[in-house]
Amino acid sequence: MLNDFKAFLLRGNVVDLAVGVVVGVAFTAVVTALVGDLLTPLVAAIFGSHDFSNLKFSVNDSVFRYGHFFNAVLTFFSVAAAVFFFVVTPVNRLVQHAQKEQPPDPTRRKCPECLSDIPADARRCAFCTTELAPA
C-alpha cells in the first residue's frame, strides 16, 4: 500500500498540480502588489482618492452603496489590465519569437486541401482523405 501511495504522489499530474498551485499563489501575490502599490496610487492621483466605498445614496430608507461596487469594478479592471499587459502580452511575444526560430520539420507537410499537418510520405490525408502526390 505504501508503494501505491508513493506511485500516486509521483504521478506527473499530481506534481504538476502542486507546482501550479504554488506558482499561482506566488503569482497572486505579485499581481496584488502590482495593483495595490502601483496602479491604485495612479487612480488616486487621477481621481483624488482610491477608495470610493463611502459613496452612496438612499431612496425610501434603502441605502445604495455604489461606491463599493465601483471599487470592485475598478479592482477587477486593474487586475485584468496588469495580467494582460505585464504577463499575457510578454508571454505571447516570447512564444511567437520561439516559434519563428524553429525550422520547418522535413518529415511533415501540409495537406493542400485541408491544410492539416501530415507525414511527408503520406499518400492520403488522414483528416480529409484527399489523395496526395508523392512528396
Same domain as 64, residue 115? no
Same domain as 15, residue 62? yes
- Cell numbers 522535413 correspond to 106
DSSP 11-49: SHHHHHHHHHHHHHHHHHHHHHHHIIIIIHHHHHHHHS-
Q: The domain containing residue 131 runs over which residues? A: 105-135
Looking at residues 30-57, what average pLDDT do you find?
81
Quick: pLDDT tens for 52-88: 778 888 888 888 888 888 888 888 888 888 888 888 8
CB 134 within 8 A of CB 117: no
Same domain as 26, residue 15? yes
**Residue 32 burial (CB count, 10 A):** 13
Same domain as 109, residue 96? no
Please tell me the total count of domains within the chain. Answer: 2
Same domain as 130, residue 67? no
